[in-house]
Structure 1
């Protein structure tokens, strides 16, 4: 891949390749993901940026985590990645920012992320990227309310929530408080 391409451009290219590798038409992916055909076409061409919610739906349709998609958009594996070289992706519409702190590798399954949600953020995922995926969420700063499969968890700094996700999830911050957390997926 060309180093001059932005992460958004590499994600668009990877989304197109994933769909084509499965032999799916845009209509088929739209049916499986609930994302309109027009939006899918524009995403794959890099005409529009993606949102956390849309990427969540697409990853669910492909049976992978958002982090796995991000890793697939990266080029090579290096065991050490300096903080300034860690890919950062922002969804300005939802107030979500994620930093991939794990060195990217398509061969290794575990992933570590540093995430930030702005005050008043509310992000809903209707299905997990892969049913039963184990998560460890450590809240570093702020406050976070996490709804998992209908159960609500209120996290304070230092709290760690360990869970396996089989259904929907919702991440919310209070109107006046952001949240910064580490997320480990294994």
Structure 2
């Protein structure tokens, strides 16, 4: 999927989710702490929003971040083919996330494959959400320092961290090599 088409997909998902909730741009801006003008740019596909902005949007819309990359059409079946999986690069940190789960399914979990550049960092200001979102970070290669609230965890290949998306969290690759991990998100909704 090209960089332009991923922005169009995000734009459509944000517009559709906002409309389904009967929210105005002003209401969503207030709910998620992103300016109305930035939301307008995102909904028109004219912005390259960062992971932090997308996390704020997903919180304001009450959905996992991974769902902002879903196709408007449900997956044609229960298999998500590698060629059809959406990849997106954070313009701030350069980390790349690929949605592995079939798009648009009614399953309560999302699987994301993340490749994180050396020395990069992303900090999310997550707070309480309408439903509890659980996140599992399973290290596949390299090392990551994950901060969840006041707790700091250093993860190496094979390690798995379980945490809720109820407090600020940060991901940092302290190494000189890329790190790769899988994220599994599930919701109590």
CA separation in 2, counterparts of 1:40 and 1:136?
A: 29
d(CA) in 2 for partners of 1:160 and 1:116? 16
Preserved contact between residue 64 and residue 185 of structure 2 (Cα < 8 Å): no
Say whether 1:142 aligns with 2:142.
yes
Report the 3-state secondary structure (helix = DSSP H, G, I; strand = E; otherwise coil) of the residue aligned with 1:162: strand
Tell me how many residue pairs correspond in the alignment.
181
Are the aligned partners of 1:119 and 1:179 in contact in 2 as well (CA < 8 Å)?
Answer: yes
Per-residue deviation, 1:175 = 5.6
- Take 2:84 and 2:128, find their aligned partners in 1: how far apart are those partners? 26
1:42 deviates by: 0.9
- Aligned partner of residue 18 in structure 2, secondary structure: helix
Instruction: Give 1:143 shift.
Output: 1.0
The aligned counterpart of 1:115 is 114
Helix, strand or coil for the counterpart of 1:6? helix
How far has the Cα of 1:19 moved from its partner? 2.0
**Aligned equivalents of 1:9 and 1:129: distance in 2?**
28
What is the DSSP-based 3-state SS (H/G/I as helix, E as strand, rest coil) of the residue aligned with 2:174? coil
1:47-86 to structure 2, matched below 5 A, reads 47-71=46-70, 73-77=71-75, 78-86=77-85
The alpha carbon displacement at 1:138 in A equals 1.0
TM normalised by structure 1 equals 0.88
Q: In structure 2, do the counterparts of structure 1 residues 129 and 176 end up closer, same or farther at CA, with 3 Å as the change threshold?
A: farther
For residue 22 of structure 1, report the CA deviation from its aligned partner. Answer: 2.4
